[in-house]
Every structure is written in C-alpha cells, then in structure tokens.
C-alpha cells in the first residue's frame, strides 16, 4: 500500500482547496484570459465549421462565408450586450441557471442546468478534439490517431484537476494573450501583404476544387438555404463560453459588475474581430475546407481525387502568412491555438463541479456534492465528466465536425431561457421601482434582453431544425435524461423533507428508560470493551446475549463469562437453524414489545481492520444485524469499535488524505 | 419488486432447512443409494476411459482391458476395506479432512480440504458431462451441443439446490436401484446369450478398426507401459465417491459404524461386480472405443476413415443386449445411467457447503459460512460451485476424457493422506490401549490401513506421472491456490484471536464518564429522535454539534434550535473548506484528548430508506464520519435510525425472506 500511495501522491499530488481561487480578486487584465479563454478558443474552430458546411454547396458555397461570418458576428454582439445586463442584475455569479430559476421557475432552471451539464461534457470533447486537429498541422504523425491523442489529453487534464492544480492567472494569461496576439498579428500581416504589398497569397487548398460525392453540382433554392442555415448554426459555436463571465462576477475586483461588463465588451470586440478577420483572410487566400464526413472530396488541378481533409483554417493561414519568410510565426500560431483549446477544456473541469455544487445545494443532485471540500464528491464529478467526454471522443472519433452538431443546442437553450428570465426580471423590477432615471435604465436593459432573447430564440430554432437529425437529437436526449434524473432526486428530497419536518404536533416525548443489550459472539477484548462502554452509560437494564449455534462454543463462552465475572447476566438464545441474526432480532423485538415506552440500545463490538479484504472476514454478522435493527422503531445501534493493530496503517492513510485535503 | 420476488419465489421456492435431513436417520437400504450414488455412477464412465486410453495402443491395446479392470477392482477392494476401519474410528463423519487434521496436523488437513473442494467442482463437471454423453445414445440430436446441454443441467441443479429441495430417500433410491438392477441384468443377459445361448453378440464398433492418427502401429516397451498406466489411472475414476459413506456415518441408524461399514462392503461388492461385468461384456462384444481428442480414428471394413467417436460403452452394450428383442431395456439402461450421473453431481451441491461450513468452523474460510442457517452464505457456496463447474464444462467442451485427467489426483491425495492418518491413529491408540483383544483388532486395522495407504500412495504416484502433463497440473494448481487462500485466512484469524484474547493483564478499566455528541445537519424529526434517545441515556455532558458549510443554512439551524428549546447547547464549528467530516472528527478528537478517562458517544441520526438508490442520496456523510470515528480509541458510534415511510416495503421484504428461511 505504501508504494501505491506513493504513486498516487506522485500522480495527484497534494490536494489544493479550490475555494482559495476565489479569494484573490482578479483585475481585468487577468479576468479576461481566465474567463474568456473558452469563448475566444471557439474562434479557432468556428470558421472551419462554417467553411466545411458551406463546402456542401460545392465551390459556390464558399462565397457565402462572408455573410455567415457577419451573421454570427451580429449574434455575438447581441449576446454580449444582453449579458452585460445580466452581470449588473445578478452579481452573485449564479449565471443563467440562477436567472432562469428565479424568474421562470424550477423547471426552467432545471432545463438550463441540464443543458449546461451536457455542454460541459461537450466543451471538453470539442475543445480537445479541435486542439488535436490543430496540433496535426505541425505534428502530421497524429493523423489517424486523433481519437486516442484526444483521450490522452483528457486523461492528462483529469489528473491535473484531480491533483487540484491551482490555475494561477499566469497559466491562463500567457497562452490566451499569445493566442489573441498571434491571431491578430497573423490576420494583419496577411491583409498587409495582400493589400499593401500586393502579394498573391494562396492557401494550400486554393487550387483544389471541392466536389460532392453524389455528383450534384448546382445547389440552389431550399437545399442552399438548408446548407446556409447549418453553416450558420455551426458558426454559432463561436458563442460557446460567452456566458462564463456572467458566472464569474464575484471574482472580479470592485466595482465587480462594471469590470465584468467591460471585460465582456472586450471579449465581444476581440471575438468578432478575430472571427471576421480569419474568415476574411481565408476568403482572400482561397481556403477550401472539406471534411470526409460531409460527403465531399477534393479534385486537384490534374483531375486527381483527394479524399482526406486538409488541416484547419488557422493552420493553413499561418502557413501561407508566415512560412515563406518567418517560420517560427507558424509554430507560434499553431501552438497557441492548441494550448488555448486545451485550456478551454480545462475550464469545464472547474465549471462542472461548481455547477454540481450549486445544484446539490438546491437539492437536484446528491447533497454530498455540495460540500466541495469533500474530496470524494469533487473527484467523482471530475471523473464522470472525463469519462463522458472520453466516450464522446471515441464514439465520434474526435471529429469536431461531428461533435459540433451536438454542441450548440445546449448553449442556445441556456442563452434563450437566461434572456427570457432577464426580461421577466426587469418587468418585475419595474413594478416596484419609482426613480425615473433607474426606470429608464431598466427599460433600456429590458429592450436589450428582449432583443437578445428573440435573437437567441430564433438561432435556437434554426439550430434545432438544421441540426436535429445530424446529431442534435442526441444532445436533447442526454439533456432530457439529466433533467428527469435531477427532477426525481429533487422530488425525493422534497418528499423526505416534508416527511421529517418538525411540526407543533410532532412527537417529542422522551423515552423513559434505556434497555441495553450487548451482542456477544466471543469473550475477548472487543467484547470487554463493549461491556465497559455499555456500563459507563448506566442503562436501566443491561443484558449480554449470545446465540447458540455451536454447542462447544457456547459452553466455552459460558465458562469464560463466569470466570470473568462481569456482573452482567448472559442470556443464551437457542438457534435451531445455526443462524445468528434471526433469533437475535427476535429477542430485541420482544424486548421492545414488552417495554414499549423504553428505548433499546444494542451494543455491537466491531473489529476495525486495515484492509478491505479483512473486512470480508469480520463484522459480517454485525453488519447484517445492524441493517435489520435499523428497521425497528425505538432501537438505537451502537458500534463499539476495537482497533486491531492492522488498522493503524489505514488510519495513517486516512489522516494523510485528510491532511492533504485541508492543506494547500 | 413484487413481481421480481414473485419470480424468485417461483424459481427458488421456500427455503427448506437442510439441517432437517440429518434428523431422520437412514436405514441401510436407503443409506446405500443416498451415499453410494456418486461412487456407483463412476462405474458408468470408468470403463469408457479405460478403453479410450487403451485405444492409443491400437487394436492391440484392447486386449489389456481385462487386466486394467482387475487392477482397478483390487484398488476398490483395498480402499473399501480401509474405509471400513475409518468409519469405526471416526463415527463423527468428519471424513478424511478430520482424520488428516487430527493425526497429521493442520497442513495435511488443509491439503485434504483443498483437494476435496477442487474435487467437488470436478464431480459436478465430470458427472454432468458423462450424463449428457450417455443421453446422446438415445438423443442423438445432442451431438455438438454437449457443452451447453451440460450447462443447462448444471443450472437446473443449481436452481433446485437454491430452492433447497429436500432430497427424500426415494428420490435417491429409485434411480440408484434401477441403475444397479439394469446394469446387472444387462450384464447377466449378455453373458447368458453369449455363453448359454451361444449367440454371437457384436457391438456397433466391433467391425471398426482403430488406427492412430500418427500411423504408429506396434506400441511396445515403455510406450505401452505409459499407456497402460494412464488407462489404469483413468479407470481409477471408478473410486471417486467411495469416501462419501465415511462422511455420512452420523446419518446412519445405530449401530452407526457397523451399518456404515456394511454399506461400504455392499458398495465395494457392487462396484467391482458392475465394473468387471461391463468390461467383460465390452470385451466379448468387441467394443472398440476411441475419442477424437486422443489422436485415433476408426477405419471401417471397406477402408473408410471415421473420425467421430462412438457412443458410450453402456450405450453400446445396452443396444447389443436389448435392441433386437426388448427395446425398452435399452432405454431403461441409458435413462438410469443418465439419472444416476446427474444425481452424483447433485451430491456435490450438498457436500460442498457442508465442507465449507466445517472449514469455516475451523477458521479456514470466512466465519459466516459456518452458520448454514445464513441463507446468503449457503447460496454463495452453491453458486460458486456451479460457476466453477460451468466454466470447466465450457473450457473442456464437456469432454469426460479431458476432464478425467484433472479428476483423480485430488481423490487419491485425500485417500492417501486419510489412510496415513489412520495408520498414525492406530499407532497412537495402541500406545494407551491395554486390552489384548482390542489391541489385536487395532493391529489388524493398522495393517489394513497401511496396505491402503501404500496402495493409494502408489496409485497417486502413477496418476501424477501418467497424467501430469495431460491436465492434472491444472488440478494441482487449483488446489495450491485454494490451499494458500485458506492458510492465509486461517493465519489472519489466528493472529486476530491472539490479539484480542483476554489475559489477566488485559485492561478492564471502566470509563468514568460519558460525553455525548449529537451530529446535527438539519433540525428535523430524525434529529429530534436522536436527541431524545441521547438524553434518555443521561450522559455526563451532551452537546449538539453542527458544521457550518453554508451561512444561510447555519442561521436557519440556529433559529430552529432556539425555537425548539431543546435545552442542549448547539455548538457551531467553522469549516473554511465547506467540508463536514474533517472539522467534526477534529472536534471529537479534541473532546477525547481533554477527557482521556471518559468515553465519547457520538449519536448520528440516520435515514432508513426503502431502495438502494435512496441510500445514495442519504447518510453518505454519516457513513464517512462513522468510518473515520471507528479509528478513534474510546469513541462509540450510535446510529439512531429514522424509518422513512418508504422503508416499510423493504422491511416487509426482509421479514418475508426471514420467514421463508426459518419455515420449511
């Protein structure tokens, strides 16, 4: 066990209390990378998904990338505006769940919670998959090993999070700022070379023609509309993570809401700039992206068919912009993109237990998840999240194009309900607010949130219609199952709470006397300890009871009992079927019936052992008896533990674990 | 659950106490079938295995079947004689395990126990496989489905035994007597037709020539000796089950030992008669048996090669003796053979838990196996036995020829150690015995057991040498593992026993006072109940403790506490990491340190729920705290169960189960 715990320590290190992170308040320059890495990172795959979907319309499709990009940019702007209202109204950091629950009721809150939980899983799967695909641009040997590489990354993130690594601001800030800078510099240099230096920059896929596998060439009418709708839906993946700031308001330096609102604004400007910049450059350098899954392939200049997909848009742009004059530039862009995507996945590892804790507080998840100090519950959440993400990555072979179909639904359900909730919030607030100035502000906010709710609602409908059969239904099913499960848990807790609530009529009568019974299976130190403890409580009556399953053994027990002279009567119960539990329970039940106003206290000596397998060899009878006695009214069961020497090691291990947990 | 328990009832019925079987003492005419079915049934496959092994020497091999049969007969006679001494010396029914343990020590006893446990598994596998192969003689469609048919039979036997079917004497007696009668009648009629009526009876394989696959024709010298040794070893399978009577002495009508001894004698005479009769008739009707596994095949009169094996010896004899004049005779023989083989498998289902119970009493297996009234332990034994047998049947494709290689080793280890133990027993007894007449008897017994030990020892060596590489090593490995496991369990129990033994110096000091602590997580009925119970015990001090993990919740608890006015101080412990266990444990530890001579009694309110999944939603904190407190000296933990309404259903189920168990 020593070795094992050594390895465990090596892997998971000291457990650091996550609560501490919140204790240091963040200035804006750190808050931006901490909370925006998720949202900004989606810029790395949103253009790809737009182009890939458009490729379904053949070469003619790519013309629309501008329009789609602009449409997504508008949605980003509106959503950011909407959330700026939220951070003022709900500085507590509850996010959409809080907003929906308080304004639209339990079911809306639960709907948001389910979609957020499913989305956390998808964030991990999509971000890691996208990171791996980006890495392929510089590490081509990853080709055909994407899924397992992604699994390795997820496992690494899981171990880091089980270790409880403290994400210092720097860990977030450096890759995020490098990513932002390198992206903007890349776009700027690209545009400068094209427009100022008048150079012709052609991406590696510029000379490849995209052809549909089914040979259809001119897509028009409803078919084109459907493709454009799907491209827009996939592009909306750029919005994932925008809500993170509204959950993080309490971590901002004061004035919290104002700072959060300004960071949100910066995020909006940055995201739109980067998104449109990348799409513009991709258009100018003629990036033609396809994916094997969508039923298209390339044809090169001499007419050869190429089936495998090219690298990502970012990879292609970095290559064409930097490769011919400043090679390191390419590597910086690709590495920064990869890192920010992994960082985005990591935020889900923090968000998931956080959300679970809030949901547990509200009784939607097992209560023990609320106490985040509880290492076990916290770890369980991380492991569950990782397992689900790994399953997704393996099932969908780490294909972002496949996973993205499931992704956006949840985000927009939560956006829409959150914004509707905000509209309701302002309406309610206006009912009591008298001050004209504040009323004007509130009305303005309500308009903004109304526009936000309407737009995100429309996007949600578009996403649902255009993606339902492509995989979104799976996300809906997962959300439905999560919803039903949490509702069942909540109903159970509520029912129990009602059942055990104290009312004025509740029975508060004190039992008049205590009748104690000691279960004796052998006369040894644990039994002597149980007798000593039982006697110390000075019960009204104290009887030792042994069940006779073996004549020799009973005689031995009686002899030893008399020799020890405990001064307590030993009652021997016959057991015709060599069974301990039944006759003992019967005895206790009889004692209860004969003394209905008294409480029966049963003392059971128990061995405390050092290993789980020793547990199989001891206390089995005690366990069965205790379980059976629990069903009896007016009986309490006292375990008197006797610590065997072998338990020391385990005690030390438990102590050490506790120390590690509290420290840090 | 109602439906499920209904199905369970239908399948497993009321649980009948097995102990009852021993209460009716058996007359000899019932004892013979009850205890001898296993031994007699081996006559059904021993001749087959002798002939199959001899076929390795080609057509010339079959000539030796007489000699091999006689040699096996001699061993049967000697072993029966030896066991007649055992039943007089050990009328308690402990069998070879008891004899070896008492005379040769713990390791010898454990060796016998391991080999018996492995042999019980093999008895089920071999007997059922042989039964299925016999059934094939009349149900040819079973061809190629032997393994799964055997599995179905084992599952059926398992269900019957989990139901606890009372094996009435009749259930054993009828098939056993029909089997004995039909075998003897078959042999008698066969011999009568051949010698008295001078008819030529030729089996279906009489005209088939046996050829080795490798083409070798004249086997002589050591190769022939090796084949004869293996044929003899396989023939010794006829001895399996002979020891059953020595385990069953207590069930005989008095004079127990004498009656058991006489039944043993009858068994010996019957087994030898049947074995030699079958071999004689097989020889006269020119049965030529092969098995696909051994590397031989048939060539018919016109030179065609036939690869598939023929039916069993019994099947062939029944066909040639009865088919041309009295068809039902054939079916009676084959059916009776099949039934007695399944019956033999069934005896293992009784013997295994019986042995496990004795081993548990001696501390070699988890103690709870000793109380056979404990339905769970008993059922576990049956299921384990069935699972192991099913695995063997599937691995070896229900081939008796393959399984028999593993079988005989264990039997002869137990024979040899048992007989050596008996020699030691007589030597010890002679040291104190003065009466000349008894001394003469003892000396005679010692000679018989010495001959028995020598002969079975020699057979063991022959079996080991001739079969080791053919599969016996697997049985040895299984026994070794069983041995090591039981030794480890025993060592653990002995170490614990020494550690907890009461000595004159043991600490018997009474704690002076009781300091009670109630864990409060909410102010509700379970907490009120815990307070009432704790107060009833009138401790020296009584403190309620709550851990503050949530400010709102703590305020609510304090308010309710004051409103209820329990008259007990409520101590609120701070928990900076939102964790309950650690701070609470620390508080209790401090209480202990401050009052070293007192005992601390911790009261934990617990919910009693109806379903396992409800258990996941409650009591998790209580469970962790209880486990941690168990490691603390001088602390006892009292569960105060609060029965939720949903627990009623489970209580009813538990009661019903208990009723079923005791009834019957």
Q: Please, are residues B640 and B606 in contact by the beta-carbon 8 Å criterion?
A: yes
Q: How near does any CA of chain B get to the CA of A380, in Å?
A: 13
Alpha-carbon distances of A417 from A86, A102, A430, A554, B328, rounded to whole Å: 12, 11, 20, 70, 82
Residues on chain B touching A501 (C-beta within 8 angstroms): 524-525
Q: How near does any CA of chain A get to the CA of B163, in Å?
A: 16
- Which domains occur in chain A, in start order? 15-493 (1.20.1740.10), 514-662 (3.40.50)
Say how far apart CA A192 and CA A198 lie, in whole Å: 8
pLDDT in the model for residue B387: 93
Percent of chain B with pLDDT over 90: 43
Alpha-carbon distances of A531 from B511, B534, B627, rounded to whole Å: 11, 18, 21
Residues on chain A touching B638 (C-beta within 8 angstroms): 601, 636-639
Alpha-carbon distances of B324 from A92, B202, B277, B329, rounded to whole Å: 97, 12, 21, 10
Q: Please, are residues A570 and A558 in contact by the beta-carbon 8 Å criterion?
A: yes
Residues on chain B touching A576 (C-beta within 8 angstroms): 17, 19
Residues on chain A touching B23 (C-beta within 8 angstroms): none
Asked if A617 lies within 8 A of B492 by C-beta distance, the reply is yes
Asked if A631 lies within 8 A of B641 by C-beta distance, the reply is yes
- The predicted model scores a pTM of 0.74
Asked if A537 lies within 8 A of B601 by C-beta distance, the reply is yes
- Residue of A39, A21, A24 whose CA lies nearest to A266: A39
Token match 């033994």: residue? Answer: B501
Q: Please, are residues A164 and A372 in contact by the beta-carbon 8 Å criterion?
A: no
Grouping H, G, I as helix, E, B as strand and the rest as coil, residue B639 is strand
Q: Please, are residues B227 and B53 in contact by the beta-carbon 8 Å criterion?
A: yes
Asked if A638 lies within 8 A of B640 by C-beta distance, the reply is no
Q: How near does any CA of chain A get to the CA of B13, in Å?
A: 18
Own/partner contacts of B456-461, CB < 8 Å, gap of 24 or more, are B456/B75, B456/B78, B456/B79, B456/B82, B456/B412, B456/B415, B456/B416, B456/B419, B457/B416, B457/B420, B459/B75, B459/B232, B459/B233, B459/B236, B459/B412, B459/B415, B460/B409, B460/B412, B460/B413, B460/B415, B460/B416
Asked if A371 lies within 8 A of B576 by C-beta distance, the reply is no
Q: How near does any CA of chain A get to the CA of B8, in Å?
A: 21
Helix or strand (DSSP H, E) at B605: strand B599-608
Mean pLDDT of all residues in A503-517: 83
A450 has pLDDT over 80: yes
DSSP string, B231-274: HHHHHGGGGTTTTHHHH-GGGBPSSHHHHHHHHHHHHHHHHHHH
pLDDT in the model for residue B182: 93
Mean pLDDT of all residues in A458-486: 91
Residues on chain A touching B649 (C-beta within 8 angstroms): none
Question: Which residue among B17, B492, B532 sits closest to A510, beta carbon to beta carbon?
Answer: B532
Pull the structure tokens for residue B143.
Answer: 């061809």
* pLDDT tens digits along B351-360: 887 788 888 8
Q: Chain A residue with minimal CA distance to B501?
A: A524
Alpha-carbon distances of B653 from A534, B7, B43, B92, B164, rounded to whole Å: 32, 14, 47, 39, 20
Asked if B579 lies within 8 A of A371 by C-beta distance, the reply is yes
Q: How near does any CA of chain A get to the CA of B511, in Å?
A: 6
Asked if A373 lies within 8 A of B577 by C-beta distance, the reply is yes
Mean pLDDT of all residues in A57-80: 91
Say how far apart CA B547 and CA B582 lie, in whole Å: 10
Residues on chain B touching A662 (C-beta within 8 angstroms): 577, 579, 582
- What burial class does residue B13 get, using C-beta atoms within 10 Å of its C-beta: 0-12 exposed, 13-18 middle, 19+ buried? middle
Cis peptide before B255 (omega within 30 of 0): yes
Residues on chain B touching A599 (C-beta within 8 angstroms): 532-533, 536
* pLDDT tens digits along A233-283: 999 988 888 888 887 787 788 888 899 899 999 999 999 999 999 999 999
Say how far apart CA A165 and CA A251 lie, in whole Å: 18
Q: Please, are residues B471 and B402 in contact by the beta-carbon 8 Å criterion?
A: yes
Residues on chain A touching B585 (C-beta within 8 angstroms): 658
| pLDDT interval class at A374 (50, 70, 90) | low
Q: Please, are residues B323 and B335 in contact by the beta-carbon 8 Å criterion?
A: no
Q: Please, are residues B588 and B635 in contact by the beta-carbon 8 Å criterion?
A: yes
Residues on chain A touching B535 (C-beta within 8 angstroms): 510
Q: How near does any CA of chain B get to the CA of A103, in Å?
A: 21
What count of other Cβ atoms lies within 10 Å of the Cβ of residue A171? 15
Token match 């007489």: residue? Answer: B66
| pLDDT interval class at A17 (50, 70, 90) | very low
- Residue of A338, A339, A321 whose CA lies nearest to A330: A321
Residues on chain B touching A559 (C-beta within 8 angstroms): none
Residues on chain A touching B663 (C-beta within 8 angstroms): none
Which residue intervals of B433-572 are DSSP H helices?
436-467, 472-500, 525-536, 551-564
Say how far apart CA A649 and CA A3 lie, in whole Å: 13
Asked if A493 lies within 8 A of B617 by C-beta distance, the reply is yes
Say how far apart CA B301 and CA B305 lie, in whole Å: 10
Alpha-carbon distances of B133 from B45, B146, B344, rounded to whole Å: 10, 7, 15
- Residue of B157, B518, B134 whose CA lies nearest to B335: B134
Say how far apart CA A86 and CA A99 lie, in whole Å: 8
pLDDT in the model for residue A653: 67
Cis peptide before B371 (omega within 30 of 0): no
- Residue of B583, B585, B581, B586 whose CA lies nearest to B624: B581
Mean pLDDT of all residues in A439-449: 93
Question: Which residue among B492, B579, B654 sits closest to A628, beta carbon to beta carbon?
Answer: B654
Grouping H, G, I as helix, E, B as strand and the rest as coil, residue B211 is strand
The half-sphere exposure of A157 on its side-chain side, counting CA atoms within 13 A, is 28
- Residue of B119, B149, B118 whose CA lies nearest to B237: B119
Q: Are strands A635-643 and B635-643 parallel, antiparallel or unpaired?
A: antiparallel
Say how far apart CA A281 and CA A299 lie, in whole Å: 23
- Residue of B650, B600, B644 whose CA lies nearest to B625: B600
Pull the structure tokens for residue A306.
Answer: 């190429």
Helix or strand (DSSP H, E) at A383: helix A375-395
Q: Please, are residues A550 and A575 in contact by the beta-carbon 8 Å criterion?
A: no
Helix or strand (DSSP H, E) at A298: strand A296-299
* pLDDT tens digits along B120-149: 999 999 999 999 998 988 888 888 888 999
Token match 């690594």: residue? Answer: A165
A–B CB contacts, 8 A cutoff, strictly below: 244
| pLDDT interval class at A168 (50, 70, 90) | low
Residue with the bigger pLDDT between B138 and A81: it is A81
* pLDDT tens digits along A396-443: 988 988 898 888 899 999 999 999 999 999 999 999 988 999 999 999
Pull the structure tokens for residue A438.
Answer: 């504040």
What count of other Cβ atoms lies within 10 Å of the Cβ of residue A4? 9
A12 has pLDDT over 60: no
Q: How near does any CA of chain B get to the CA of A169, in Å?
A: 22
| pLDDT interval class at A194 (50, 70, 90) | very high
Say how far apart CA A45 and CA A313 lie, in whole Å: 8
Helix or strand (DSSP H, E) at A338: helix A327-361
Q: Which of A364-373, B192-201, B391-400, B523-532 is the least confident region? A: A364-373
Q: Please, are residues B455 and B488 in contact by the beta-carbon 8 Å criterion?
A: no
The end-to-end CA distance of chain B, in Å, is 23
* ipTM of the predicted assembly exceeds 0.90: no
Residues on chain A touching B643 (C-beta within 8 angstroms): 630-631, 633
Q: How near does any CA of chain A get to the CA of B639, in Å?
A: 5
Return the bridge partners of A543, or none.
A517
Pull the structure tokens for residue B378.
Answer: 């008993």
Q: Chain B residue with minimal CA distance to A657?
A: B582
pLDDT in the model for residue B8: 45
Per DSSP, A26 falls in state B
Asked if A578 lies within 8 A of B513 by C-beta distance, the reply is no
* CA B351 from centre of chain: 6
Burial A76-108 (b: 16+ CB within 10 A, else e): bebbbbbbbbbbbbbbebbbbbbbbbbbbeeeb
Asked if A496 lies within 8 A of B644 by C-beta distance, the reply is yes
Asked if A578 lies within 8 A of B373 by C-beta distance, the reply is yes
- Residue of A261, A257, A344 whose CA lies nearest to A45: A344
Return the bridge partners of B548, or none.
B574
pLDDT in the model for residue B16: 37
DSSP string, B429-453: HHHH---HHHHHHHHHHHHHHHHHH
Q: SS3 breakdown of chain A: % helix, strand, coil, rounded to 5?
A: 70, 10, 25
pLDDT in the model for residue B377: 57
Q: Please, are residues A607 and A650 in contact by the beta-carbon 8 Å criterion?
A: no
* pLDDT tens digits along B2-13: 444 444 444 444
Question: Which residue among B525, B580, B633 sits closest to A506, beta carbon to beta carbon?
Answer: B525
Say which residues have a Cβ less than 8 Å from residue A125's Cβ, sequence separation at least 6: A150, A389, A392, A393, A396, A403
């Amino acid at each position: 066990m020593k070795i094992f715990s050594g390895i465990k320590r090596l892997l998971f290190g000291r457990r650091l209390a996550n609560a501490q992170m919140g204790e240091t308040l963040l200035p804006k320059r750190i808050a931006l990378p901490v909370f925006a890495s998720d949202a900004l990172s989606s810029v790395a795959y949103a253009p790809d998904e737009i182009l890939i979907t458009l490729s379904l319309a053949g070469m003619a499709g790519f013309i629309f990338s501008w329009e789609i990009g602009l449409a997504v940019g508008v949605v980003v702007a509106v959503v950011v505006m909407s959330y700026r209202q939220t951070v003022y109204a709900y500085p507590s950091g509850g996010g959409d769940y809080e907003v929906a629950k308080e304004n639209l009721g339990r079911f809306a809150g639960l709907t948001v919670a389910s979609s957020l939980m499913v989305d956390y899983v998808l964030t991990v799967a999509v971000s890691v998959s996208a990171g791996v695909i980006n890495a392929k641009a510089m590490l081509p040997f990853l080709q055909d090993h994407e899924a397992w590489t992604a699994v390795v990354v997820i496992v690494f993130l899981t171990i880091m999070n089980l270790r409880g690594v403290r994400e210092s601001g720097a860990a977030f800030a450096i890759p995020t700022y490098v990513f932002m800078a390198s992206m903007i510099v890349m776009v700027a240099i690209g545009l400068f070379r094209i427009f100022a230096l008048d150079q012709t920059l052609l991406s590696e896929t510029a000379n490849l023609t995209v052809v549909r596998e089914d040979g259809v060439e001119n897509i028009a009418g409803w078919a084109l509309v459907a493709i454009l709708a799907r491209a827009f839906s996939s592009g909306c993946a750029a919005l994932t993570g925008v809500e993170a700031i509204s959950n993080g308001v309490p971590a901002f330096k004061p004035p919290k809401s104002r700072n959060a609102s300004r960071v949100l604004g910066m995020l909006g400007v940055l995201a739109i700039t980067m998104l449109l910049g990348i799409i513009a450059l991709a258009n100018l350098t003629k990036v033609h992206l396809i994916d094997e899954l969508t039923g298209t392939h390339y044809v090169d200049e001499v007419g050869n068919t190429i089936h495998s997909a090219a690298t990502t848009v970012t990879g292609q742009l970095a290559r064409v912009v930097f490769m011919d004059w400043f090679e390191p530039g390419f590597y910086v862009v690709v590495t920064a993109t990869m890192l920010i995507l992994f960082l985005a996945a990591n935020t889900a590892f923090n968000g998931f237990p956080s959300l679970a804790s809030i949901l547990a507080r509200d009784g939607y998840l097992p209560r023990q998840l609320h106490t985040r100090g509880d290492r076990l519950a916290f770890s369980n959440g991380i492991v569950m999240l990782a397992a689900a993400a790994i399953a997704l990555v393996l099932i969908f072979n780490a294909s972002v194009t496949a996973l993205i179909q499931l992704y956006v639904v949840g985000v927009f359900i939560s956006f829409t309900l959150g914004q509707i909730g905000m509209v309701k919030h302002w309406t309610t607030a206006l009912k009591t607010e008298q001050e004209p100035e504040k009323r004007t502000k509130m009305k303005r906010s309500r308009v903004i949130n109304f526009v936000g709710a309407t737009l995100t609602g429309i996007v949600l409908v578009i996403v649902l219609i255009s993606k339902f059969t492509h995989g979104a239904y799976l996300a809906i099913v997962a959300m439905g199952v999560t919803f039903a499960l949490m509702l069942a848990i909540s109903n159970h807790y509520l029912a129990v709470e009602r059942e055990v609530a104290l009312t004025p009529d509740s029975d508060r009568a004190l039992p008049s006397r205590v009748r104690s019974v000691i279960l004796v299976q052998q006369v040894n130190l644990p039994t002597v300890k149980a007798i000593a403890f039982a006697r110390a409580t000075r019960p009204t009556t104290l009887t030792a009871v042994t069940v006779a399953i073996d004549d020799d053994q009973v005689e031995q027990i009686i002899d030893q009992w008399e020799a020890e002279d405990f001064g307590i009567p030993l009652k021997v119960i016959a057991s015709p079927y060599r069974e301990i539990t039944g006759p003992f329970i019967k005895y206790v039940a009889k004692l209860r019936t004969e003394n209905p106003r008294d409480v029966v206290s049963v003392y059971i000596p128990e061995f405390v052992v050092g290993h789980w397998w020793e547990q199989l060899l001891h206390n089995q009878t005690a366990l069965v008896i205790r379980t059976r006695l629990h069903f009896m009214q007016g009986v309490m069961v006292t375990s008197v533990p006797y610590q065997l020497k072998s338990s020391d090691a385990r005690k030390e291990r438990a102590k050490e674990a506790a120390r590690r947990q509290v420290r840090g």
